A = this chain, B = another copy of it.
Amino acid sequence: MSRSGSHSHRVRWWCLIVAVVAVWVQQVEGVWPLPQQLHQSADRDCLSPQRFSFTYGRDSAAQTGCSVLDAAFKRYFSIIFPDFTTLSGLLMPENELSNDVVLMFVVADTLSVSEGQAVLRSVSVWGALRGVTSCLLSLLFFYFINKTEIVDFPRFAFRGLLLDTSRHYLPLYAILKTLDAMAYSKLNVFHWHIVDDPSFPYQSRTFPDLSNKGAFHPFTHIYTQSDVIRVIEHARMRGIRVVPEFDSPGHTQSWGKGQPGLLTPCYKGSVPSGSFGPVDPTVDTTYKFMASLLKEVKFVFPDSYVHLGGDEVSFACWQSNPNVRKFMEKMGFGKDFTKLESFYMESIMNMTAALNKTSIVWQDVFDYHERIPQDTVLEIWKGAKYQTELSRMTQAGHRVLLSAPWYINHISYGQDWRNSYAVQPQNFSGTDEQKKLVIGGEVAMWGEYVDATNLSPRLWPRACAAAERLWSNEEKTLNADLAFPRLKEFRCELLRYWKYVCNYSLSTSGLFQARCAYKTKHLVFDIFFFF
């Protein structure tokens, strides 16, 4: 928690808070991801909006005005009491509550529900946010709550989800609702693979032609500056960071349309073929362009990480181009184009470092080029032998993200969530120090076959399997059969909360439907929260 809180916003948001929730509660199976410690007694009581309030503890560093928590209190109040329109119960002055509020500064978050009230202790706003989520989304069930003690903290600080908005454009609402689902699953990083070969939907201030000419449509299929701000703010209010990816030098076909001269002209024999390859790493204009683009990205995306891609660069076009071959000679790269790729990536990574941002790159960069800045985070995406890759990368002292086993856009028939669930991110040969370098992982939903019409059914609750693996204690969550009832219940929670939080006009039948799945032998993996 503190790890995840410790980036970008911590300075702005760091504060010790205590939320006092006057509630009674009932046991349910739907606590997902599983908390590190959870003790529930059978004692339970009914919950009424009149007897319910959020309050900041007297000695809490966070007080009314802490926008993230104020907003969260409002959101969750309307989730708990969907039919209770006024917020009278909200933020009742503390002196009107029982005063036995203990204030402690603990590294882990502690949520305990005792007679008549719940005390949430957290070292950070973000921890408090997740605590409220656990308490109110999972424990609370149709106005009932049990006496509960929870000690909770995430196993990994980086719990990401990748959306690809280039292969298919995703309208803003689809991204925002994905962020809601991420928050419920305690995923905390939105990896926005915003551009790629097929389209360039990011509307750049510096280079408007990139989307004017590179998007599927220059008006309807773009993300304006205000769209991006809205995504970042929606995410921040839910404790989610937004890490943008501007993947180069490959995967840049759409960039070329709005930025002539950026891509390498491919040759057929001694004449240009008319087609273009990766970014041209041999000309200064390329680096000038990338420098300005990254400078813009630095200001638009506040997060400390930027994903620079660097995957799947085909050398054929570079090889065909006489200027590139000349450059290779001049640089003494011989015939080894991985050297050229490394040369380019190194320049881009240095630019990024100069902007005080931490680079994330796909594993290819490491595979081709062991000498890369130590603080660069490496992301593993190639399915085969990712354990070996984990060993090699951590041996080299790099922080690593694991995504390879969580490419859940690859659907298959049946309970494929079990594959995601069986992944053990630290199960590779290496020292404890090496294991610590695995900072987390990412669920990836690539867009070849996904758009707003089917994104959610493919993403949820399948992504929850990885979410629990990244949050919970592995020893306590190895058995998928034991997890299954919780996952089914959590799916129903998601359907219900989406209805309550957002106005998706989820029909009653649809709501009952969610419960219905619970009564069947099989899990319906896909939830759809727009109807």
Contact of A168 among B171, B452, B520, B531 (CB under 8 A): B520
Docked pose: A167 CA to B217 CA in angstroms = 42
Q: Which residues of B contact A524 (CB under 8 A)?
A: 168, 449-451, 453-454
* Distance of A511 from chain B, by nearest CB (Å): 9
* Distance of A193 from chain B, by nearest CB (Å): 15
Within 8 A of B (CB), among A269-321: none
Is B520's CB under 8 angstroms from A171's CB? no
User: Does A143 sit at the interface, judged by CB under 8 A?
Assistant: no
Beta-carbon contacts of A493-531 to B below 8 Å, as 1s and 0s?
001000000001101011011111101111111111111
Size band of the interface chain A makes with B: 35 or more
- A sample of 19 more A-B contacts (CB under 8 A), given A167-B522, A450-B524, is A167-B520, A168-B516, A168-B517, A168-B524, A171-B507, A171-B510, A171-B513, A216-B519, A410-B413, A412-B413, A414-B449, A449-B522, A451-B524, A453-B528, A453-B531, A454-B528, A457-B457, A457-B458, A504-B531
Nearest CB in chain B to that of A513: its residue: B452
Given contacts A512-B220, A516-B221, contact A531 B412 (CB under 8 A): no
Beta-carbon contacts of A173-214 to B below 8 Å, as 1s and 0s?
100000000000000000000000011000000000000000
* Distance of A110 from chain B, by nearest CB (Å): 35
Within 8 A of B (CB), among A323-346: none
Query: Could you list some 13 contacts between A and B, CB below 8 A?
Result: A168-B516, A169-B516, A171-B510, A171-B512, A198-B521, A220-B509, A411-B411, A411-B412, A449-B524, A449-B526, A450-B524, A504-B531, A530-B531
Q: Which residues of B contact A529 (CB under 8 A)?
A: 453
Q: What 9 A-B pairs are tightest by C-beta distance, nearest first?
A: A171-B509, A530-B531, A454-B526, A453-B528, A454-B457, A220-B512, A448-B522, A410-B413, A452-B513
